[in-house]
Amino acid sequence: MLKRSLTEDAQEVFRAIALIELGARMQVLESELTLSRDRMIRLYREVKGVSPPKGMLPFSADWYMTWLANIHASLFYNTYLFLKNEARCSHLDALTKGYRLYLEHCQHSETDPVLDLTRAWTLVRFFDADMLQLTRCCRCSGKFVAHRHDLQHNVVCGACQPPSRAGKTKKAAAARREALSAAQQAA
């Protein structure tokens, strides 16, 4: 059995609390942390006041390809990569910090978050499993989420080319496009 110091144990508990507060499901906690399942369920109940929801996690990379989800996923993943590669955060820190930054950005641009923490976590897993890649948009040069074997050249991101039904949210898309290219430049 794994022997941990009290400090390490406390750190794991704080990580769990941070993830639960951001909306993590049990599967996320179980795969990211080493606390026992019983302790995590207890923590979940203490933090949320309810039992953790049961059921399977969403498992389709296609979800990230719809127009709005793709813009949000691209924004989050670019932030995650920046924190991990440039700011040298651990995977878990990049996930929680990146997700908080994403929520803050939604708040600033007065748009509802589309990506929940579990979707954000699954997105990172899909990239790690080489199911997804970042493709550079030939108009704004921002990188967006695409399937692994999708075309790489002369492709346009969702923010640059909103579908016509999204006319009302064109302004919001423009704001997101700016944020996306800002994230690009930072990364």
Binding site for Zn ion (CB under 5 A): 137, 139-140, 157, 160
Give a three-class secondary structure readout of 104-115.
Answer: HHHHHCCCCCCC
Residue 144 pairs in a beta bridge with 135
**106 assigned binding-site residue:** no
Angle at 79 between CA 111 and CA 19, to 5 degrees: 80
**160 assigned binding-site residue:** yes
Least separation, in Å, of the C-beta of 158 and Zn ion? 8
Q: Tell me whether residue 116 or residue 178 sits nearer to Zn ion (CB atom).
A: 178
**138 assigned binding-site residue:** no
Instruction: Determine contact, residues 147/131, Cβ cutoff 8 Å.
Output: yes
Least separation, in Å, of the C-beta of 186 and Zn ion? 16
Q: Tell me whether residue 118 or residue 181 sits nearer to Zn ion (CB atom).
A: 181
Least separation, in Å, of the C-beta of 71 and Zn ion? 10
Least separation, in Å, of the C-beta of 157 and Zn ion? 3
Q: Tell me whether residue 100 or residue 139 sits nearer to Zn ion (CB atom).
A: 139
Q: Quick check: helix, strand or coil at residue 145?
A: strand
Instruction: Determine contact, residues 72/158, Cβ cutoff 8 Å.
Output: no
Distance CA 32, CA 76 (A): 19
Residue 144's nearest CA partner among 154, 159, 166, 131 is 159
Q: Tell me whether residue 106 or residue 157 sits nearer to Zn ion (CB atom).
A: 157
Least separation, in Å, of the C-beta of 69 and Zn ion? 16
Q: Tell me whether residue 87 or residue 174 sits nearer to Zn ion (CB atom).
A: 174
Establish how many alpha carbons lie within 13 A of residue 170's alpha carbon, considering only the half-sphere containing its beta carbon: 7
Establish how many alpha carbons lie within 13 A of residue 4's alpha carbon, considering only the half-sphere containing its beta carbon: 13
**89 assigned binding-site residue:** no
- Write out the binding residues: 137, 140, 157, 160
- Write out the binding residues for Zn(2+): 137, 140, 157, 160
